[in-house]
Structure 1
C-alpha cells in the first residue's frame, strides 16, 4: 500500500484527538451542555468568517457546482451534509458527558467500539472489501473489546451511543463527495449551532466569567475540532471508511496512556492485555502498508 497524504491526514487527526482530554478535563466543573454550546458556537463563528469572507472564491465555485448537479444528486449532497451536522452534535455531547462525568476510560472504550462499528457498517453500506488479514484484525478488536467490557459493563450503553454516532458520521461522509471539504464542515457546524441555539437560553447555566474557560474553549474549537475534523473529511477522499475506523484506535490508545501516566487512573492487567491486543490489531489491519515495501523488495 502506497503511503499517501490522505493516510497521513487521517493519522494526524487521530493523534491530535488523543490529547483531547488534556484540554477537556480542566473543564469538568462546567456543565457538559455549556462546553458543547460554546465549542460549537465558537467553531461556527470562526469557520463562517473563513468560508464567507476569506475563501469567497471557493464558496462561489461550490455554489455553482451544487446548482449544476441533477436534483437527485443535489438533494443527496445537502442531506448528507446536514446529517453529518446532526451526528456530530450528538457525538460531541455524549463524548463530553462521558469524559467528564463517567470516566476517561469509558470515553476511550467508546472509541474502541467505534472502529469495529465503522468497519462493519462500511462493509454493508458501502460494500468496502476487507482482506483476510483485515478481517483477522477486526476479530482481534472484537475480542479485545469484549475483554475490556467485563470491567465496565455499566459504561457500555454510553460507549455504544458515542461510537455509533461517529461511525455513522464517517460512513455517511465517505459518500458525500464533490464539494470542498472545509465548506462542507462549515455548513455542518453552522447547522449544529442552529440545532443547539434554541436550547441555550433554557439549559445554559449562565455565562462563564473565567478567562481560562474561554481560552480552553478556543483551543478545543480550533485544535481539537476544526483541524482534526477537516483532516478527517480530507482523508476520506483517499482512504476507506474501514481504514479510518481502524486508525481511530490511535485515539483511545493515547487516552489510555494519558489516563494511566498523567491522571493516574487505576489500570488492571486485563485492560493492559486488551489495549495491547488493540495495538496488535492496528498493525495487522495495516500490514500491507507497514510491510508493503519489504514485500515489493523481496519480489
Structure 2
C-alpha cells in the first residue's frame, strides 16, 4: 500500500485538476480574460499557501536566492504559460477537446525527462508517445474539418498547454532535489503571482469584489490548485516524471465526465476514438499486463 501511495496522490491531484473548467467558465461569465483568471488562480493559491505555511510549515517557507530559477521554471514557464494556454483553449472549444489537447503532455514529459532527467526511455513509453500524438492528430484533423467551434489557433494553443503542463514535472523534479513539496508548491505560485500582478493589473477589475467571483476564486485556488498541486508534487518525489505525467491522465476522464453532465457537450465518433487512443496509449505504460508463468505439475 505504501508503495502505491505516491501514485494515488498523483491520481488524486489530477482528478482535482479535472474540476478546473467549472471555475474557469464561472469567472469567464463575469468578463475575466484567460490571463486574468490565471492571475486570480495563482494569487488565491499563494495566499492560501502562505496561511497554511504560517500555521504548519514555517521551516519550509524559505529558499536560497540562487535557486530562484527553479521557481521561475515551475511558476512562469509552466504555471503561467500552461494556465493561459489551457484557459484560452477552454474558451475556444469544448472542455473535452481542450483537456485532450492538454494531455499531449505525457509525450512532452517523456521526451524532456529522457533529455534532462536521464529517465529511461522504454519501448512502452515510445509507443505511448506515438499513440498520444496520433490520437491528437486524429482529433485535430476531424475537428478542423467538421466542428465549427474548433480552430487551428485553438489546437495550437491547446498543444502549448500540454508543453507548459509538462514543464512543471521537469522543473519540479529538479526543485524537489533541494526542497520539500510544500516549499516547491508555495514558491511556484508566489513567483507566478508576482509576475502576473503588474501584467494584468487585476485590482482594477470592478467585478473582482462580487460575492460570486470571490466564491469562484476561492474554489479555483483551493481545490484544483493548492490541494491538487500539493498532492501531485508530493507524489512526484517518488515517481518518475514521465510516469507521473501518464498517471495524471485521470484528469481528462473527470473533466470529460463533468463536461457531458454539466455542460451537455458531445464528441463526434472520431473524436471519441482519438480520445480512447490517447488514454489507452498513455495508461498502458503504467499498467502493463504481466504474463505469469505457471508450472505444470505432473
- TM-score interval, smaller chain: 0.7 to 0.9
Q: What SS is found at the alignment partner of 1:273?
A: helix
Tell whether 2:87 aligns with 1:88: no
Shift of 1:203: 8.6
Candidates 40, 55, 58, aligned match of 2:57: 55
Aligned to 2:47: 45
1:227-278 C-alpha deviation (Å, 9 max, x unpaired): 1111121111111111112123222233233323431223111011111222
Q: Which residue of 2 aligns with 1:10?
A: 10
Name the counterpart of 1:172.
171
Partner of 1:124: 115
Cα distance in 2 between the residues matched to 1:98 and 1:152: 14
Q: Are the counterparts in 1 of residues 39 and 202 from structure 2 also a CA contact under 8 Å?
A: no
Gaps of at least 5 residues in structure 1 are 67-73
Equivalent-residue separation in structure 2 for 1:249 and 1:189 (angstroms): 23
Secondary structure, counterpart of 1:128 in structure 2: coil
* TM-score (normalised: structure 1): 0.84
**Is the Cα–Cα contact under 8 Å of residues 112 and 249 in structure 1 kept in the other structure?**
yes
Distance 1:128 1:187 in 2: 26
Figure out how many residues of one structure are paired with residues of the other and give that number: 283
Q: RMSD in angstroms over aligned alpha carbons? A: 2.6
TM-score (norm 2): 0.84
CA contact under 8 A between 1:34 and 1:205: conserved in structure 2? no
Segments of 5+ residues of structure 2 without an aligned counterpart are 145-151
Cα distance in 1, alignment partners of residues 209 and 71 from structure 2: 34
C-alpha distance in 2, partners of 1:258/1:50? 29
Of residues 100, 115, 118, the one that matches 1:109 is 100
In the alignment, what sits opposite 2:147?
A: none
Secondary structure in structure 1 of the residue aligned to 2:104: helix
Return structure 1 stretches of 4+ with deviation > 6 angstroms: none
